[in-house]
Amino acid sequence: MRLHATILVALGAVLLQACGFHLQEPTELPRQMSATQLVIQNPYSQFARRLSGMLEQQGISVVEQDALAVLEVPENDVRKEILTIGDNARVREYRVRHTVRFRLLDAQGVVLVPEHTFEQSRVISFDEQDILGAAQEEEFLRQNMADSLARLVIRHLAGSGS
């Protein structure tokens, strides 16, 4: 039985290697970010929480004072836009759009990473028969976009860092 398990694990490892799978390398952020203050209008938003968590996973201390770097997020906006209206004058389809604008400064206010904007959107079809499901789908999409945008910001900071 043990031999079968060992063979299966080895076979799985070979298959993963053959398809090109590899673990993601740790992201290397600018060294000035070791103690970073996150300046964002709503620090309790899904995006702010995900970004803080991802920074901490990268070994960055998110601090309120005595920061070596300041990550400013002047725009963290989630909007709903109506796309189509049905025969009964009710919304049939809408778009959720999440926009994030950010820049990184050092403690003296010198720009380390210039301002950059990322935006993601998802289209949701509204079904009057499944109102609860539509609300859950929208919440899931909002969380997914916040997570994706936080990852994009981290990658951009790593790619721009020195």
130 in a structural domain: yes
| 18 within some domain | no
> Residues 6 or more apart from 124 whose CB is under 8 A from it?
93, 94, 95, 96, 134, 137, 138, 141
Residue 20 placed within a domain: no
Domain annotation covers residue 93:
yes
Confidence at residue 77, expressed as pLDDT on a 0 to 100 scale:
96
Total number of domains in the chain: 1
pTM attached to this predicted model: 0.77
In-domain check, residue 92: yes
Distance between CA 108 and CA 19 in Å, rounded? 47
Q: Where residue 51 sits, what CATH number does that domain have?
A: 3.30.160.150
Residues of the chain with pLDDT under 50: none
User: 149 is in which domain, residue-wise?
Assistant: 30-160
